[in-house]
Amino acid sequence: MPKIILILYLLVNNPIFAQNVSIEGRAPAYVGKTIEAYRIEDYLSMRNVLVASAKVKSDSTFRLLFDSNSIQKIILKSNNNKSFLYIEPGNNYTIFFPNRSKYAPYIPSGNEVELSFYELDSTDINYKILSFQRWIDNFIGRTYHLRNTVESTEYIESFEKFKANVQKAYQNDTSYNATFLKTHIKFSIAGLENINSIAERNRYEKHDFFIKFHPVEYNNDAYMEYISSFYDKLPLQLSQETNNAFYKGVLKSSPSEIMNALGQEYTLVNRRIREIVMIKALSECYFSNDYPQTNIITILDSLKEQSLFKENTVIAENMRYRLLNLIPGSKAPNFALISDGLKTQTLIGLKGKHIYLHFFDPTKANQLRELDLVEDLSKRYDKYVRIISICRKNEVLDLKIQQKIEECTHQVYQISVSNPIWKNYQTRILPHYSFIDAAGYIIKNPALSPTPNGEYKTIDRTFFELKKVIEQRKKEEIFNPRG
């Protein structure tokens, strides 16, 4: 092949040069506020990296400008609201960024809103994905109720017809975004096969059909979400022998031994995927009492320096960061709080309600005074947030201080210094606060305290907003009962 033709072929099929991307539009609800654009660095740690920001002008317009060398998902955030779009290098997007609906429940970790496009070209990846999503939503709406009924054969026939029609509709697409689109479609359908029905393939069939021969596409959210779901809680899926070998590898802080152990699992024949899954499995074991955390961090340190695949070094580094920094959106470490005269509390047992953890030193007068503020918060917001204070058990604590603790109406746990919660919630400096959502994910750590910070902000405002939304939701349920 002549050199010029070869170079042109590589440029067309391997777009490695960054190109300008513009996102502009209107955001009337955000005048004077900043809109930020983030890319997702990897879909296991879900660590976001800021790529651009802009202040919304008085006429409600804004413009974000940044470079990209691939199709990827971009997250837009402002004023505790967030949305997303896909971008292609060199493209310009004009959008409308809405405010949260007044009927939507307030979520402290961020409310999702649905942006709108102006004059979106039919060849753009957003247009194609949105069109396919409407198709798949329509299929689910028409057939979901049939999957486990006497008409389940009708569901199977509809599903097979749907897949055939999708294949026919997209097979001739050879445009720049065709690979990304077809992967998105393939693994969206793969997700449908996880809906329980007699049409569902077994685990090994799914691996062979969807994963085994498909290249790893790190930037494709549908692909990576399927991989993450397929290998979720992997140690529980391993044979006893393989699980033991995996555990021994962790005890030895040896990535190579863990890789060899996981190589015994049929669905991990691909070494690149095996290493990705190893990182994911280690992160899932990190907050388990059965695995030494120091060893897991040591392994991730090794992988971020000497991974078999350079893309996996990013995942290892981000996962290490997530575990050690408890970034918003990450899984909150489980805990067990045991104290005389109080009910044992665990994170799992508290799910369904927001949690505010207050760590303090009762021997410090200023922190003891702050306990009064926490007590007041609990009295005003106990219906909406479970507030728990935690201090180290001290056998020689002053009787007046002990009496003050025992008089609190909210729960104050006096626990051992060896309890892993101190380390897991990074309580190096006291007082320390952690705010966890009702599903058990970190909203903020460290969180705002009851006393004003340098910007005169306190946690009280957050609780007040949460209370308003919950009360509004209760009113709507009274006037619009479900069922």
Provide the mean pLDDT of the chain: 89
**Eight-class DSSP state of 289:** T
Q: Under 8 Å CB-to-CB from 331, ≥6 apart: which residues?
A: 287, 440, 441, 442
C-alpha dihedral, 224 to 229 to 233 to 239, nearest 10°: -100
Write down the residue that tokens 């992988």 correspond to: 303
* 213 and 141 co-located in one domain: yes
Domain end residue (candidates: 119, 150, 165): 119
Q: What is the pLDDT of residue 288?
A: 79
Name which residue leads in pLDDT, 343 or 483: 343
Residue % of the chain over a pLDDT of 90:
65
Q: What is the pLDDT of residue 472?
A: 79
Name which residue leads in pLDDT, 149 or 126: 126
Number of compact structural domains in the chain: 4
Q: What is the pLDDT of residue 483?
A: 47
Q: What angle do CA 338, 436, 313 make, to 5 degrees?
A: 105
Write down the residue that tokens 């045991």 correspond to: 338
In the chain the first and final C-alpha atoms are separated, in Å, by 67
Please report whether residue 181 resides in a domain: yes
Please report whether residue 482 resides in a domain: no
Indicate whether 47 pLDDT > 60.
yes
Q: What is the mean pLDDT of residues 381-410?
A: 91
Please report whether residue 480 resides in a domain: no
Indicate whether 8 pLDDT > 90.
no
Q: How confident is the model at residue 156 (pLDDT cuts 50, 70, 90)?
A: confident
Indicate whether 1 pLDDT > 50.
no
At 12, which helix (H) or strand (E)? helix 3-13
pLDDT in tens, 417-459: 889 899 889 898 899 999 999 888 899 988 999 998 777 789 9
Farthest CA pair distance, the chain:
88
Please report whether residue 479 resides in a domain: no
Residue % of the chain over a pLDDT of 70:
92
For 324-362, give the DSSP string: HHT-TTSBPPP-EE--TTS--EETGGGTTSEEEEEE--T
Q: What is the mean pLDDT of residues 113-140?
A: 95
Please report whether residue 483 resides in a domain: no
Q: How confident is the model at residue 200 (pLDDT cuts 50, 70, 90)?
A: low
Q: What is the pLDDT of residue 152?
A: 66
Gap between the Cα atoms of 69 and 88, Å rounded: 8
Indicate whether 5 pLDDT > 60.
no
As a whole number of Å, the CA-based R_g of the chain is: 26
Please report whether residue 89 resides in a domain: yes
Q: What angle do CA 66, 68, 73 make, to 5 degrees?
A: 95
* 25 and 76 co-located in one domain: yes
Name which residue leads in pLDDT, 276 or 140: 276
Q: What is the mean pLDDT of residues 194-201?
A: 60
Q: How confident is the model at residue 170 (pLDDT cuts 50, 70, 90)?
A: very high
**From residue 408, how far is each of 269, 357, 379, 380, 420 by CA, in Å?**
57, 15, 10, 14, 24
Gap between the Cα atoms of 460 and 450, Å rounded: 6
Q: What is the mean pLDDT of residues 72-76?
A: 97
Beta bridge partners of 23: 64, 93
Q: Is the peptide bond before 446 cis (omega within 30 degrees of 0)?
A: yes
CB-CB neighbours of 62 under 10 Å: 24
Domain end residue (candidates: 230, 245, 271): 230
* 352 and 470 co-located in one domain: yes
Query: In terms of residue numbers, what domain contains 268?
Result: 234-325
For the entire predicted model, the pTM comes to 0.78
Indicate whether 280 pLDDT > 50.
yes
Name which residue leads in pLDDT, 372 or 195: 372
Indicate whether 134 pLDDT > 70.
yes
* 469 and 340 co-located in one domain: yes
Please report whether residue 331 resides in a domain: no
Pairing of strands 336-337, 61-68: unpaired
Q: What is the pLDDT of residue 408?
A: 94
Gap between the Cα atoms of 256 and 299, Å rounded: 10
Q: What is the pLDDT of residue 10?
A: 44
* 429 and 345 co-located in one domain: yes
Q: How confident is the model at residue 310 (pLDDT cuts 50, 70, 90)?
A: very high
**From residue 471, how far is each of 99, 353, 388 by CA, in Å?**
20, 14, 22
pLDDT in tens, 465-477: 888 888 877 776 6
* 353 and 460 co-located in one domain: yes
Please report whether residue 242 resides in a domain: yes
Q: What is the pLDDT of residue 151?
A: 59
Q: What is the mean pLDDT of residues 122-132?
A: 97
* 317 and 388 co-located in one domain: no
* 24 and 38 co-located in one domain: yes
Write down the residue that tokens 């509709």 correspond to: 169
* 197 and 250 co-located in one domain: no
**Eight-class DSSP state of 209:** I
* 226 and 244 co-located in one domain: no
Q: What is the CATH number of the domain that holds 354?
A: 3.40.30.10
Q: How confident is the model at residue 9 (pLDDT cuts 50, 70, 90)?
A: very low
pLDDT in tens, 88-115: 999 999 999 999 887 777 776 788 999 9
Domain end residue (candidates: 298, 325, 352): 325
Indicate whether 373 pLDDT > 70.
yes
